[in-house]
């Protein structure tokens, strides 16, 4: 199992991923940083920005730009196996909306959602769930094969 994740300067997502004790790589925070390219299947852990809608009611961009850029590279996107999203429950129905968007556009399972930096229960469920998920995909021969999705994330 390999995790790719994005975490802002608050490091909520980073703290959660570190508790999983699973090999991982953090997407670069700043535009000038070297972009990440992966060469093995992975699950993405992504925070949700803006709650899904702006104060004016217009759509915001709940998927961070760094995640969009990473997934719009076909060589990265075809190795994506699933998505886990974090968010703030104060956003109501838009809680963890980034996961819904990525799952739909990249045609991968939305595996789990958690609030802010997660709880010990979230860590336990995700650790166990990811092991089961990888085992199931390997048994079906779908872990190592490249998944082709033509959609881009916006």
Q: Tell me whether residue 100 is in a domain.
A: yes
pTM value is 0.89
The residue segments making up the domain with residue 74 are: 3-139
Distance CA 21, CA 44 (A): 15
Distance CA 154, CA 133 (A): 27
Residue 4 has pLDDT above 80, yes or no: yes
Q: Tell me whether residue 118 is in a domain.
A: yes
Q: Tell me whether residue 145 is in a domain.
A: no
Q: Tell me whether residue 151 is in a domain.
A: no
Report the sign of the C-alpha dihedral through residues 52, 35, 28, 104, in that order. Answer: positive
- Residue that the structure tokens 């998927």 belong to: 63
Q: Tell me whether residue 146 is in a domain.
A: no
Task: For residues 47-64, give the mean pLDDT.
Answer: 70
Which range among 40-49, 58-67, 86-95 shows the weakest confidence by mean pLDDT? 58-67
Q: In the chain, how many domains are there? A: 1
CA-CA distances (angstroms) from residue 93 to 48, 97, 129, 131, 138? 12, 8, 24, 29, 33
8-46 pLDDT per residue, tens? 998 999 999 999 999 999 999 998 899 999 999 999 999
Q: Tell me whether residue 150 is in a domain.
A: no
* CA nearest neighbour of 114 among 91, 74, 84: 84
Q: Tell me whether residue 52 is in a domain.
A: yes
Q: Tell me whether residue 102 is in a domain.
A: yes
Look up the CATH number of the domain holding residue 133: 3.40.50.360
Residue 60 has pLDDT above 90, yes or no: no
Q: What is the mean pLDDT of the chain?
A: 90
Residue ranges with strand state E in the chain: 3-5, 24-26, 42-47, 80-87, 110-115
Residue 54 has pLDDT above 60, yes or no: no
């Amino acid at each position: 199992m390999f995790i790719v994740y994005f975490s802002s300067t608050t490091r909520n997502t980073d703290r959660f991923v570190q508790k999983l004790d699973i090999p991982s790589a953090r997407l670069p925070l700043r535009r000038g940083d070297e972009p990440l390219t992966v060469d093995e299947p992975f699950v993405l852990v992504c925070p949700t920005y803006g709650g899904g809608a702006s104060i004016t009611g217009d759509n915001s961009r709940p998927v961070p730009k760094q995640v969009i850029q990473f997934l719009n590279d076909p060589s990265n996107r075809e190795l994506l196996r699933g998505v886990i999203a974090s968010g703030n429950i104060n956003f109501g129905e838009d809680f963890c909306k980034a996961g819904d968007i990525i799952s739909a556009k990249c045609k991968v399972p939305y595996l789990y959602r958690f609030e802010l930096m997660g709880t010990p229960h979230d860590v336990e469920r995700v650790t166990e769930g990811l092991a089961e998920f990888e085992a199931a995909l390997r048994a079906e021969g779908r872990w190592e094969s490249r998944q082709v999705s033509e959609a881009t994330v916006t």
